[in-house]
A and B are shown apart, each in its own frame.
Chain A
Amino acid sequence: MSRRRPLSTRSVRFAALLAAGMVAMANPGAAHNPIFTPGPHVVYGGGLEVTIGYTRDRARGAGDRETGQEVELEFEYGLTADWTAELELPFVTKDLNDDGSSGLGDIVLRSRYRFLRLDTPGVQRAAAVLGQVKLPTGDDGRTPRLGSGSTDFVGGLLYGHESRRWYYNLAARYRLNTEGAGGLEKGDRQFLDIVGGVRPALTGYLEPDTVVFLELNWENAGRDRLNGAAVADTGGWELFLSPGIFATYRNVALRTGVQIPIAHGLDGAQPESAYRFKFEIKYTF
């Protein structure tokens, strides 16, 4: 039985920031999808992609210093050539000033359906819809909380253009948050992403391959509500510039990148993102 503490403004802010970071970094990453932007590419029908990832994010301001780390195990299975089922198991460590906690975070179930695929020699254009449910499996009775205590939903539309040399991606997502622990309902969030990528050297099938991405990630959050009342110093938007690298050899991939905040319009006094770092190893069976 976990001990529950009353929600303070600080913990509300931290929970909001934690949720923002988690959803932003939870990127369904198959094939050559960008690092922070979900893409339309999916694992082949009957294929299984296993990912071990590490993310770290930090935020500062309003008297707080918050650090989150997450090791996640992700499975993506190709139900068909265009439809995937995905499971994400996060193990998180959170530090808020002098407090710290770690354990299982909120498990994510996700599915993508690629409804459009236009193939021409050396080029693939694709579009997909994304559906995601975040379950309240993380302990919300600890400080800092490991989960939001709410069941949240994400829907998105994803587009990708992939050629031998160039990559372009667009994504739009909406996150619907429900009421979680302590009567806190985080504001819904919107995400818009624009990505460009280039393969500096055109390599063959059984050769190491590298693609460099530059992403622009915009996030907007509505005002949180606590027991139905709007919470001060919550909500607003942040814009990130995110360089990243995707290096592969046959069925093994390394993905890494960092989100750097370049502009924001946060409401009131609240911590601002300092950076978000991500590193992943993928293996396709």
Chain B
Amino acid sequence: MTKFLKPTGLVLVMMWLAATAVLADSHVYKLYVDGLACPFCAYGVEKKVGGLDGVEKIDIDIDGGVVLVTLADGATLDEAAAKQAVDEAGFTLRKFEAPNKE
């Protein structure tokens, strides 16, 4: 019985973790931004993209030129709005990746 429960429990935990990750990712948009070279300049991205409706969090990876945008539950990010915000920050949106909805 114990032999059966241990692997089953492990599988359940892993499934829960995976589900959590999928749910979390379902609110994260990935913006590939060209022209990002310095942290000080990236502040404009934080202000302009972070000011869009529903945005809860911004993570900026300058080396990768990637901006991760986390939205609140039920909110969505339009590519045109993201492009405009990035442009107003003084950069260029090269690629827009919406989260995979399960």
8 Å CB contacts to A: which residues of B20-41? 34-41
B57 CB, nearest partner CB in chain A, Å:
12
- Out of B41, B48, B61, name the residue touching A41 (CB < 8 Å): B41
DSSP majority for the B interface?
Answer: mixed
Decide yes or no whether B60 CB sits under 8 A from chain A: yes
| Cβ of A171 under 8 Å from chain B | no
B65→A121 contact, CB < 8 A: yes
C-alpha gap A122/B63 in the complex (Å):
7
Inter-subunit contact A199/B48 (CB<8 Å): no
Q: Judging by beta carbons under 8 Å apart, are B40 and A209 in contact?
A: yes
B residues in contact with A32, CB < 8 Å: 37-38, 40-41
- Which of these binds chain B: A56-64, A227-235, A245-253, A268-276? A245-253
Q: Please tell me which one of the listed residues B37, B65, B90 contacts residue A44 in the complex, with CB atoms under 8 A apart.
A: B90
| B-contacting residues, A181-237, CB 8 Å | 199, 202-207, 209, 211
- A-side contacts of B98, CB under 8 Å: none
CA distance A204 to B47 in the complex (A): 17
Query: Measured between alpha carbons, how far is A138 from B44 in the docked complex, in Å?
Result: 35
Q: A199 vs B48: C-alpha distance in the bound complex, in angstroms?
A: 26
Is B88 part of the binding interface, using a Cβ–Cβ cutoff of 8 Å?
A: yes
In the complex, how many residue pairs between chain A and chain B have their CB atoms under 8 Å apart?
100
B40 in contact with A31 (CB, 8 Å) = yes
Most buried by B among A202, A207, A253: A202
Cβ B40 vs Cβ A248 within 8 A: yes
Contact indicator A81/B89 (Cβ below 8 Å): yes
Residue of B nearest to A31 (CB): B41
Kindly identify which residue among A42, A209, A284 contacts B38, using a CB–CB cutoff of 8 Å.
A209
Partner of A119, one of B34, B47, B48: B34
Residue positions of B touching A, CB distance < 8 A: 34-44, 46-48, 59-63, 65, 87-92, 94
Given A80-B88, A162-B41, A205-B39: 8 more A-B contacts, CB < 8 Å? A31-B40, A44-B44, A45-B89, A119-B34, A124-B34, A124-B35, A203-B39, A204-B62
Q: List 14 A-B contacts (CB under 8 A).
A: A31-B41, A42-B90, A47-B44, A117-B35, A119-B92, A120-B34, A121-B65, A164-B62, A203-B39, A204-B61, A205-B42, A205-B46, A205-B62, A251-B43
